[in-house]
């Protein structure tokens, strides 16, 4: 299979439930070895998109291609995809081994052949010592790895994961995220990873597609989403803090039309610059977050000192992008930070 044929391609895929349009002419290409993330708020249509790719939902319009072949009319079990759902959907009356072996058994592989695939996969995921345990008796993290192992042994064309970490508690989740990343690097396979949590994919994904109102608002690296959101909506959605927006004339000089968009860490407290009022402040460790207001615009400044609410502060913006009608029209109208 040549590298330039997308492993997965969607061409103008639309899906409605009744009168509600959930997916609106979605185009997408996932390449060989790519970790592709689909990120969007709850209800934005992420699971619907995945279910359409799998073949559980049928698109109203458009085509789905796997390895260049049109599979739009193929049933789910003929598409050679592996899916890990949020719930893991493990078979509760079986052991870890039996769960992982199940898809191979369905393909009528001999017990010997099954063992040859299950053991190395379990080894790679670090679950060899629990293979004989019933899945109701293992931890959340172990369940996740069992579900991944079961998906892996099938040697699918693509891996699809729908919020696979959301059932784990925060601490385990951090580790699971790291494991997933090293797994993908080791596997060199294509992944489509669906989540509402940007921090699950910010370090893993080669590309991230932001789903909003049934369309991809932006498809790029996470760094690009963060530094150069193509719309104000993306700027607001991405990051620990929303991107700040002020009239461009205030930041970049008189006569500049539109709005300047800048991240909190691109602002410096200085003697010159924009005069604003501190409305409230919050201290986290040794950083102070100051909620400032200038005319009707609000923005957050990170500062090494706590400043009493009601005080005035002067800020200068070191770097910003230009937005007109909510859309990015120019990057870095004020220079760029050192990298």
Ligand X SMILES: Nc1ncnc2c1ncn2[C@@H]1O[C@H](COP(=O)(O)OP(=O)(O)OP(=O)(O)O)[C@@H](O)[C@H]1O
Give contact residues for ligand X (rule: CB under 6 A): 17, 22, 40, 42-48, 196
Given the complex with Mg ion, which of 47 and 146 has the nearer CB atom? 47
Q: How far is the CB of 321 from Mg ion (least distance, A)?
A: 31
Given the complex with Mg ion, which of 191 and 323 has the nearer CB atom? 191
Quick one: what does residue 45 bind among ligand X, Mg ion, none, with the CB cut-off 5 to 8 Å set by partner type?
ligand X
Quick one: what does residue 309 bind among Mg ion, ligand X, none, with the CB cut-off 5 to 8 Å set by partner type?
none
Given the complex with ligand X, which of 210 and 317 has the nearer CB atom? 210
Quick one: what does residue 199 bind among ligand X, Mg ion, none, with the CB cut-off 5 to 8 Å set by partner type?
none
| Pair 44, 195: CB distance under 8 Å | no
Neighbours of 9 (CB within 10 A): 20
Q: Please report where in the chains the tokens 């990298």 appear, as a residue.
A: 339
Query: CA of 206: how far to CAs of 177, 191, 201, 260, 293, in Å?
Result: 15, 10, 9, 28, 37
Q: How far is the CB of 209 from Mg ion (least distance, A)?
A: 15
Distance CA 262, CA 89 (A): 43
Given the complex with ligand X, which of 43 and 253 has the nearer CB atom? 43
Interacting residues with Mg ion (CB under 5 A) = 46-47
List Cβ neighbours of 14 (8 Å cut-off, separation of 6 or more). Answer: 21, 23, 24, 25, 26, 59, 60, 61, 62
Structure tokens at 199: 């921090």
Given the complex with Mg ion, which of 44 and 99 has the nearer CB atom? 44
The DSSP bridge pattern shows strands 8-17 and 61-66 to be antiparallel
Q: How far is the CB of 142 from Mg ion (least distance, A)?
A: 23
Distance CA 81, CA 308 (A): 56
Given the complex with ligand X, which of 40 and 239 has the nearer CB atom? 40
Q: How far is the CB of 277 from Mg ion (least distance, A)?
A: 41
For 125-221, where are the alpha helices, taking DSSP H only? 140-152, 170-187, 198-201
Quick one: what does residue 198 bind among Mg ion, ligand X, none, with the CB cut-off 5 to 8 Å set by partner type?
none
Q: How far is the CB of 175 from Mg ion (least distance, A)?
A: 23
List Cβ neighbours of 241 (8 Å cut-off, separation of 6 or more). Answer: 263, 264, 289, 300
Q: How far is the CB of 42 from Mg ion (least distance, A)?
A: 7
187-202 per-residue burial string, b: 16 or more CB within 10 A, e: under 16: eebbbbbbbbebebbb
List Cβ neighbours of 35 (8 Å cut-off, separation of 6 or more). Answer: 184, 190, 191, 193, 201, 204, 205, 206
Largest CA distance in the chain: 76
Quick one: what does residue 17 bind among Mg ion, ligand X, none, with the CB cut-off 5 to 8 Å set by partner type?
ligand X
How many residues does the structure list for the chain? 339
Quick one: what does residue 44 bind among ligand X, Mg ion, none, with the CB cut-off 5 to 8 Å set by partner type?
ligand X
Q: How far is the CB of 40 from Mg ion (least distance, A)?
A: 9
Q: How far is the CB of 46 from Mg ion (least distance, A)?
A: 5
Given the complex with ligand X, which of 40 and 59 has the nearer CB atom? 40
Given the complex with ligand X, which of 177 and 303 has the nearer CB atom? 177
């Amino acid at each position: 299979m040549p590298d330039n044929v997308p492993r997965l391609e969607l061409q103008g895929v639309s899906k409605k439930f009744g009168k509600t349009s959930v997916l609106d002419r979605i185009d997408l290409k996932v390449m060989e070895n790519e970790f592709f993330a689909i990120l969007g708020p709850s209800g934005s249509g992420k699971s619907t998109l995945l279910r359409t790719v799998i073949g559980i939902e049928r698109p109203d319009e458009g085509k789905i291609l796997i390895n260049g072949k049109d599979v739009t009319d193929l049933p789910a079990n003929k598409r050679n995809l592996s899916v890990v759902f949020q719930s893991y959907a493990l078979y509760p009356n079986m052991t870890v081994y039996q769960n992982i072996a199940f898809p191979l058994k369905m393909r009528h592989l001999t017990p010997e052949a099954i063992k040859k695939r299950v053991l190395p996969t379990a080894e790679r995921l670090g679950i060899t010592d629990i293979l004989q345990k019933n899945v109701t008796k293992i931890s959340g993290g172990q369940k996740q790895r069992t579900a991944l192992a079961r998906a892996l042994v099938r040697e699918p064309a693509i891996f699809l994961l729908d919020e696979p970490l959301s059932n784990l508690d925060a601490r385990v989740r951090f580790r699971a995220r790291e494991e997933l990343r090293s797994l993908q690097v080791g596997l060199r396979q294509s992944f489509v990873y669906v989540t509402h949590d940007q921090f699950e994919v910010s370090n893993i994904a080669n590309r991230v597609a932001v789903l909003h109102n049934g369309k991809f608002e932006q498809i790029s690296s996470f760094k690009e989403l963060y530094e150069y959101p193509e719309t104000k909506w993306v700027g607001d959605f991405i990051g620990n803090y929303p991107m700040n927006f002020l009239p461009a004339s205030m930041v970049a000089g008189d006569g500049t039309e539109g709005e300047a968009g800048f991240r909190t860490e691109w602002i410096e407290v200085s003697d010159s610059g924009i005069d604003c009022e501190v409305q409230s402040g919050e201290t986290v460790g040794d950083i102070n977050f100051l909620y400032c207001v200038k005319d009707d615009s609000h923005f957050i400044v990170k500062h090494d000192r706590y400043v009493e609410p009601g005080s005035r502060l002067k800020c200068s913006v070191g770097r910003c992008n230009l937005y007109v009608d909510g859309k990015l029209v120019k990057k870095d109208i004020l220079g760029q930070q050192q990298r």
